[in-house]
Amino acid sequence: MARQHHRCAYCGMGFRESPIIADGLDFCSEACIQRYDDHPCLRELPSEFLEHKVAEASQVPCPKCGGPGPINAVSSHRVFSFFFITYFATNTEIGCVRCGRRQCAVDAALCLLLGAWGFPIGVIGAPIQCVRNIRMIRSLSAGDPFKGEFRRTVLDDLAHRLEEEDSKASAATP
Ligand SMILES: [Zn+2]
Ligand SMILES: [Zn+2]
């Protein structure tokens, strides 16, 4: 059975989970719906151009270690327990594959150190999230599709530049 494939109307990311639908368009997240409303200047640009901008922005030195790109967003999992209360959080950072692996390894260790002693959720949840982080260390690769968080950072930047040029142009016309 062929799995459904969706493409976010704002960031252009392809994904399999069910989309969030707004105004008849598919979105990957609430963050993209918000930006679609905030940055109408990007709507007229062809998706190939935006895709090219995202790819171009990934081919820069890593902002964390200064090593060679490509860079992308990496989301790892954190678990913190305080006695009977356990918090789950997603830690998203932008960097190269090497930094992404290190981030997942650190968060895997933090899950066990800070999460696993909470009862009862932490005892069960922390090892599960730890394993998810360890799996990610192995699966991360330089050829991974660009994540929504990375795409949004690049497109936000592009939108701000276009809006700035726009306001300069309209200020210059008498
Ligand atoms: Zn999106
Ligand atoms: Zn790095």
pLDDT digits (tens, 9 = 90+) for 101-129: 999 999 999 999 999 999 999 999 999 99
What pLDDT sits at residue 3?
A: 58
* Angle, in degrees to the nearest 10, between helices 97-110 and 121-139: 160
- Encoded amino acid at 40, one letter: P
Ligand 2 center to 2 CA (angstroms):
36
Cβ neighbour number for residue 173 with a 10 Å cutoff = 5
Residue 1 has pLDDT above 70, yes or no: no
Ligand nearest to the CA of residue 101, numbered in listed order = 2
82: enclosing H helix or E strand? strand 72-82
Contacts of 118 (CB under 8 A, 6+ apart): 79, 80, 81, 82, 83, 84, 85, 86, 126
Distance 29 CA to ligand 1 centre (A): 6
The CA 10 to ligand 1 mean position distance, Å, reads 5
The pLDDT > 90 percentage for the chain reads 90
Q: What whole-number distance in Å separates Cα of residue 76 and Cα of residue 68?
A: 21
- For the chain, the average pLDDT equals 94
> Please, are residues 79 and 107 in contact by the beta-carbon 8 Å criterion?
no
| Rounded (5°) CA angle 54-55-61 | 100
Query: Is 2 a residue whose pLDDT tops 60?
Result: no
Overall average pLDDT of the 16-26 stretch: 95
Distance 31 CA to ligand 2 centre (A): 25
- For residue 64, give the ligand nearest its CA: 2
Answer positive or negative: Cα dihedral of 96, 31, 25, 164: negative
For the cut 80, the answer to whether the pLDDT of residue 4 exceeds it is no
Distance 50 CA to ligand 1 centre (A): 12
